[in-house]
Structure 1
Amino acid sequence: MAGNPPKRKVSRSNTRSRRAQWKAAPITLTATVENGKTVYSRPHQAKVVTDSQGTELFLEYKGRKVADV
């Protein structure tokens, strides 16, 4: 159920200045070197392992297979 109704009107200036504090954070990427190429990936996320044709084989995390695709 919703909270209590407002006790008084909030001005447009206060509302907008409060909303202005919400900011989108940039995505953190880590650089790793694989087969002589620098690959950027998100930390703490499983990545998809593909074969030479580009077929997705499985998900890998910290060098271990964690799930089938």
Structure 2
Amino acid sequence: MPVPKRRLSRSNTRSRRSQWKATAPALVKTVENGKVTYSLPHRAKLVEDVDGTPLYYEYKGRRVADA
């Protein structure tokens, strides 16, 4: 594992860390049966029945896993 040859100054350390920025996830808005849901693209969606009981996971209209 590489080890720095000399100690980095406090200002250099902080300026390097300040360049990292969090980004908000890109959510996709879908409306199903009058209910608005937000989900991450390219992820399996949980399908629930009317009572809210989880049934299975679905991706691109296909059943992929049991809940």
Q: TM-score w.r.t. structure 2 length?
A: 0.87
- C-alpha distance in 1 between matches for 2:6 and 2:39: 48
Determine the structure 2 residue equivalent to 1:41: 39
* Structure 1: gaps of 5 or more residues: none
Tell me how large the CA RMSD over aligned residues is.
1.2
TM-aligned CA deviation for residue 39 of structure 1: 2.0
Question: Once the 2 structures are TM-superposed, how far is the Cα of residue 65 of structure 1 from its aligned partner?
Answer: 0.5
Kindly provide the CA deviation profile for residues 1-46 of structure 1, in whole angstroms up to 9, marking residues without a partner as x: x22x322221100000001111111011011121123321111100
Structure 2 counterpart SS, 1:9: coil
| DSSP-derived class of the 1:31 partner | strand
Identical columns (%): 63
Structure 2 counterpart of 1:54, one-letter code: G
Q: One-letter code of the match for 1:18? A: R
CA distance in 2, matches of 1:59, 1:14: 47
Superposition misfits of 4+ residues, deviation over 6 angstroms? none
